[in-house]
Amino acid sequence: MRKPVRKVVFPVAGLGTRFLPATKAIPKEMLPLVDRPLLQHAVEEARAAGIEDFVFVTGRSKRAIEDHFDADTELNRTLEERGKQDALEEVRHSEIAPGRCFYTRQQVPLGLGHAVWCARALIGNDPFAIVLPDDYVQGKTPCLKQMVEAYEEVGGNIVAVVDVPRERTSSYGILDVEKDDGRLATVRGLVEKPKPEEAPSTLSIIGRYILQPEIFDHLEKQQRGAGNEIQLTDAMAKLIGNQPFHGLRFEGTRYDCGDKVGFIEATLAHALNRPDMADKVREMLRKYC
Ligand code: UTP
């Protein structure tokens, strides 16, 4: 029997330099898409995929994250007393159940692979998901849920992928594909940020992964890769051949909120998808377009 995926890691220890000075005192992952922080969207996606345990790899100046997912009993009481039921429900929805969230720190941001490695004791010997909150994905079925469904079919390791224009391959981890049925691609290699002329395909990895715990054996070696960082892609590449490894073309749209224009686009896409504000936002946009 395949072990189910019940744990998620959110690596949120990065410096967020592209959003400075906004991210000097506020974590990038707490910037809101309308009224919910990016990280809360990520937690909700994980919940919808059946995740029960939430591991956050944070760093200095990230304390707001712990407060956000905690219960604020004083605020709850005040909202209750003032009859603000809608706001109370929203706030309650942001809480993670007692004993189900775990925090560890990456003291120095040495790269995504290193951040994930910092969660090793909390993951133990279980398969787990990784969600990068700056990739916001909108779709009928949440992206991670689609991945868990694919995992139930093929097991092993799964990364979510999108096709990118060839000239952009040097910004992403790229798949070397052995077989492709249009939905699931069997992977025979991974390359981090290849030059367009050297890229083995244009299928790029986005910030959603399901991995087996053996990834920690490779991360343990702390080898530096592209940008002199400890890259998750390099460690994942070493799993290939020993365990199944697939790329899933998920159904939905990915927005890169690590980029300023991408963040604005995600905000608009989210607002236009909300029945409580879509019409007003559409009308407002007409003024500018
Ligand atoms: P990014 O590459 O977007 O880096 O990280 P960043 O520091 O957040 O932002 P910029 O590029 O300086 O503007 C992708 C994800 O990986 C996490 C980040 O927090 C983000 O969620 N990360 C990255 C870590 O947790 N630790 C690291 O050492 C690097």
Q: Which tens digits make up the pLDDT trace of 53-62?
A: 999 999 988 8
> Looking at the domain assignment, is residue 48 inside a domain?
yes
User: Does residue 132 line the site of ligand 1, with CB under 6 A?
Assistant: yes
Q: Which tens digits make up the pLDDT trace of 11-60?
A: 999 999 999 999 998 999 999 999 999 999 999 999 999 999 999 999 98
User: Does residue 17 line the site of ligand 1, with CB under 6 A?
Assistant: yes
Answering whether pTM is above 0.85, one says yes
User: Does residue 57 line the site of ligand 1, with CB under 6 A?
Assistant: yes
Helix (H, G, I), strand (E, B) or coil at 151: helix
User: Comparing C-alpha atoms, which of 138, 178, 174, 170 is closest to residue 159?
Assistant: 174
In the chain, the number of structural domains is 1
Alpha carbon distance 287, 289 (integer Å): 6
| Ligand 1 atom showing the smallest separation from residue 114 Cα | 28
Task: Kindly state the average pLDDT of the residues 158-163.
Answer: 97
Q: What is the pLDDT of residue 203?
A: 96
CB atoms < 10 A from the CB of 111, how many?
A: 24
- Rg over alpha carbons for the chain, rounded to the nearest Å, is 19
CATH number at residue 31: 3.90.550.10
- Using a pLDDT cut of 90, give the percent of the chain over it: 92
Q: DSSP labels for 157-172?
A: EEEEEEE--GGGGGGS
| Amino acid, single-letter form, for residue 283 | E
168 phi, psi to nearest 5 deg: -105, 5
Helix (H, G, I), strand (E, B) or coil at 284: helix
Q: What is the pLDDT of residue 224?
A: 87
> Looking at the domain assignment, is residue 238 inside a domain?
yes
> Looking at the domain assignment, is residue 1 inside a domain?
no
Alpha carbon distance 64, 131 (integer Å): 19
> Looking at the domain assignment, is residue 149 inside a domain?
yes
Boundaries of domain holding 243: 7-286
- Structure token pair of residue 125: 């010997």
> Looking at the domain assignment, is residue 268 inside a domain?
yes
